[in-house]
Amino acid sequence: MSFKRNILDLRKRKKEAQQGGGEKAIEKQVAMGKKTARERIKAILDENSFHEYDLFVEHTGRDFDMEKKVLHGDGVIIGTGTMYNQPVAIYAQDFTVAGGSLGLMHARKITKIMDHALKMRVPLIGINDSGGARIQEGVNSLAGYGEIFYRNTIASGVIPQISVILGPCAGGAVYSPALTDFVFVVENISKMFITGPSVIKSVLGEEISMEELGGAMVHSEITGNAHFFAKSEDECFEQIKKLITFIPWNNAQKALKFPIQQPLNTKSIEEIVPVDPHNPYDIRDIIKAVTDGSDFFEIMEYFAKNIVIGFGRIQGNTIGFVANQPMYLAGVLDCDSSDKAARFIRYCNAFNIPIVTLEDMPGYLPGVDQEHAGVIRHGAKLLYAYSEATVPKVTVIIRKAYGGGYIAMNSRHLGADFVFAWPTAEIAVMGPEGAANIVFKKEIDEAENPTEMRNQKIQEYKDKFANPFVAASKGYIDEVIEPSETRARLIHSLEVSGSKVDQRPAKKHGIPPF
C-alpha cells in the first residue's frame, strides 16, 4: 500500500487547475502585453514564498448552461506569502478564466483571503483584471461585490490595502480599489470606469476612447483615483515593493526603522529657494535636502501637482510629507489639492506615521469654477484631517503663508506640535498688494499721486507684516530658524515627539466633510 497513486492524482489535478483558462487564453493575455495572474503574484512576493488556497473551488452557476463549464479556480488566485520576509495576503483575478468575471465563489475566495488578512493583521494586495460581474450568476455576483466592499471598509485603517489595476476594472468593480489605500495603474493596461464609452456615446453623444475615459494617465492626472502610475507591469511591481518599505504592517505597529543616512548634499538648501518670492522652485528639492539619502517617494505625482505628498525617512523613521509646490499653480490650495492632502494625512494618522508640512502657499485659487466645485467643502477636509491627526505634526514655513491657507497648512492653531519659519517667511492675513488696497484705501484715494502712495503703503505693509516675526512674537511660530538648520530641527522635534499622547473625546467617529 502506498500513497503514490493519490499523490500522482493530486499532482495531475493541480497541474490542470493551475493552467487557468488554458494555453489559448494565456497566449491572448500575453499578446495584450499582460502577465498572467500567477506571474504577477510571483513578481510581487519574495521568491518561492507564495502559498495558494482554494485552487479546487468550483463555480456555482446553474443557469444559461453554466453548469457544463469548468472554470479553474473560478477565475481568481488567492494566497499568502512574504515581502521582505514579512507576511502578506494577496489575490489576483485571472483574466484567462471567463475574463476574470466575478461570480459567487470567485468573491468567496477573495473575502476569505480578506478575512484572513484582517485577522492576522497583515497587508492585503489585490490584483484586479476582470471583465466585471458574471452576468450568468445574476444577483449572486452583486452579493459578492458587496461583501468585498464591506470588508474593504472594515479593514480600512487597520491593515494596509493595496489595489493593482492590471486590466479592465469596470462598473461596480471599481469600488473595491476606490475604498483601498493605494491604487496602482499601468499605461495601456489599466482601464477603470463606471460606464464605458459605448454607453456614454449612446446616451449623451460624447465620443471618447477607453484610454481617454479611464486609462492609467486619466486616473493619475485628472480623476485622482490612482496613486501610482507605471509604464510597465515590472515598474509597477517595483513601486509596490518600495511603498511597502515605508508603511507599517498594521495600525498597531510603526513602520520598520531603516539605517540612518545623511541627505546627499548636491545643493545647499538656501540655493534651492529663489530670493524673489515671485519666482518658483521645486519643493521636492527641499524635501530631498532633509530626508535620509535624499530619498523621497512621491504619491499621486500627477494629480493636483500644486501640492506634493509622499514618504521619506528622517533618522531612519518613515515620515509623511505634505508640501505646497510653488512650481505648479504657484502652490495654491484648491479643491483637488485639499482632497489629495487630506486623505494622505488621514492615512499617516491611521498608521502612526508622523507628518512634516512644508509651507509656501499664497492662498486659495480664485475662480467661479472653484467656488461652484465646492472649494469650501473640499478645503474643509484639509482642516479636518490636520486637526484630527494625533501623530507628531511639524510645520516649516518657507515663504508664503497667507490667509485661510496659513491656518489650513498645519498651523499651531490646528494642533501642530512644532512650527518653524525661515526668515523669508511671510505670514499675514493677505498679500501686501491686496491688504494695502483695503487698509490704506482712504490714504490712497485721497493722495495726489495714488500709484505712488499705493506703492509706499504696500512697502509699509510688507515691512511690517510680510515676515515671520509678528507670528513669532505671539508664539504661533516656535522659532525662526536658518534654512540650513531645517533637518536638525526636524530630527529633534520628531525625536521628542516619539511618545506623544493626544487624548480626544470618545466618539463613534467624526463627520468629516466628504
Partner 1 sequence: MEDNSSKYQVFVVNSAKYMTLTTTKFDRRKKWEKSDPKEIRSIIPGSVIEIFVVPGQLVKGGQVILTLDAMKMYTKVEMPFDGVIKSINVTKGDKIPKNCVMINIE
Chain residues in the site for partner 1 (CB under 8 A): 202-206, 208, 212, 277-280, 326, 329-332, 362-363, 365-367, 369, 400, 431, 433
Task: State how far the Cα of 385 lies from the Cα of 343, in Å rounded to an integer.
Answer: 7
In the complex with partner 1, the residue whose CB is nearer, 365 or 436, is 365
Q: How far is the CB of 381 from partner 1 (least distance, A)?
A: 20
In the complex with partner 1, the residue whose CB is nearer, 62 or 201, is 201
In the complex with partner 1, the residue whose CB is nearer, 256 or 330, is 330
In the complex with partner 1, the residue whose CB is nearer, 61 or 362, is 362
With DSSP H G I counted as helix, E B as strand and the rest as coil, what are the percentages for the chain, rounded to 5?
A: 45, 20, 35
In the complex with partner 1, the residue whose CB is nearer, 281 or 469, is 281
Closest CA to 127 of 159, 86, 79: 79
Task: State how far the Cα of 134 lies from the Cα of 74, in Å rounded to an integer.
Answer: 11
Q: How far is the CB of 202 from partner 1 (least distance, A)?
A: 8
Q: How far is the CB of 147 from partner 1 (least distance, A)?
A: 23
Beta bridge partners of 333: 364
Q: How far is the CB of 465 from partner 1 (least distance, A)?
A: 14
In the complex with partner 1, the residue whose CB is nearer, 218 or 300, is 218
Q: How far is the CB of 214 from partner 1 (least distance, A)?
A: 13
| Gap between the terminal Cα atoms of the chain | 66
Cα angle at 273 between 267 and 278, to 5 degrees? 155
CA 313 vs. chain centroid, Å, equals: 17
In the complex with partner 1, the residue whose CB is nearer, 48 or 279, is 279
263 secondary structure, DSSP code:
P
**To the nearest 10°, the Cα dihedral for 448, 454, 459, 463?**
100
The one-letter amino acid code at 261 reads Q
In the structure, how many helices (H) and strands (E) does the chain have?
21, 17
In the complex with partner 1, the residue whose CB is nearer, 109 or 340, is 340
85 secondary structure, DSSP code:
T
Contact 250/161 with Cβ under 8 angstroms?
Answer: no
Residue 180: strand, helix, or coil: coil
Q: How far is the CB of 33 from partner 1 (least distance, A)?
A: 25
Q: What is the DSSP string of 434-495?
A: HHHHHHTHHHHHHSSSHHHHHHHHHHHHHHHHSSSHHHHHTTSSSEE--GGGHHHHHHHHHH
Q: How far is the CB of 207 from partner 1 (least distance, A)?
A: 9
Set of cell numbers at residue 163: 489595489
In the complex with partner 1, the residue whose CB is nearer, 55 or 327, is 327
Residue 283: strand, helix, or coil: helix
Q: Which residue has the cell 494618522?
A: 349
In the complex with partner 1, the residue whose CB is nearer, 125 or 421, is 421
The one-letter amino acid code at 490 reads L
Q: How far is the CB of 261 from partner 1 (least distance, A)?
A: 33
Contact 395/407 with Cβ under 8 angstroms?
Answer: no
Q: How far is the CB of 425 from partner 1 (least distance, A)?
A: 14
Task: State how far the Cα of 391 lies from the Cα of 312, in Å rounded to an integer.
Answer: 16
Q: How far is the CB of 366 from partner 1 (least distance, A)?
A: 6
